[in-house]
Amino acid sequence: MASYGKRSSDAASWEARPTTGWQDLLLLLARVLLGAIFVESGFGKLTNLAGFAAGLEGMGVPMPMVAGAVGAAVEFFGGLAIVLGAWTALAAILVAGFTVAATLLAHRFWDVPAEQQRMQHIQFMKNLAIIGGLLALVAAGAGRWSVDGVRRRR
């Protein structure tokens, strides 16, 4: 008779079977897919820092040029570190923090006119999902096919 709260080793191995041998590939795909949005967006902000800072100023962010430079750098270089799997936990935490700040500044669906609320709510929820993916990377690590993985093997 099966006891509640305990899994048999057969059940545990069956649940793990779908990703056995695929974990490193899946972590690589996760890093590339999560990091790409930050690399692309951060590059755009770095190459138009004045425009990004002006947008931050319009949202009432203090010292918008400094905040813009720091935010754009965290977004671009953090995204690149995630893609490469270099200092992945630190990069994912920094990028998650950036995403929290960006979400609370730019996707305040409760403060926009009714015709904009649905789209801002979608953007807000998308960012929450991205933050969840970043936190999963912190928990899982970068995987073997990463700069972190190479450093661990040395």
In a domain, 28, yes or no: yes
In a domain, 123, yes or no: yes
Identify the domain containing residue 95 by its residue range. 24-153
Write out pLDDT tens, residues 36-92. Answer: 999 999 999 999 999 999 999 999 999 999 999 999 999 999 999 999 999 999 999
Domain count, the chain: 1
In a domain, 10, yes or no: no
Given a contact cutoff of 8 angstroms between Cβ atoms, the answer to whether 30 and 139 are in contact is no
Residues 6+ apart with CB under 8 A from 26: 19, 143
In a domain, 17, yes or no: no
In a domain, 86, yes or no: yes
In a domain, 19, yes or no: no
Residues 6+ apart with CB under 8 A from 140: 27
In a domain, 4, yes or no: no
pLDDT at 153 over 70: yes
Write out pLDDT tens, residues 125-134. Answer: 999 999 999 9
Q: pTM score, two decimals?
A: 0.86
CA–CA separation, 106 vs 103, rounded Å? Answer: 5
CA–CA separation, 77 vs 104, rounded Å? Answer: 21
CA–CA separation, 8 vs 36, rounded Å? Answer: 40
In a domain, 14, yes or no: no
Q: Is the dihedral of CA 29, 32, 124, 126 positive or negative?
A: negative
Indicate the range of 6-20, 26-40, 69-83 predicted with least confidence. 6-20
Distances in Å between the Cα of 139 and the Cα atoms of 74, 92, 107, 112 are 20, 10, 27, 35
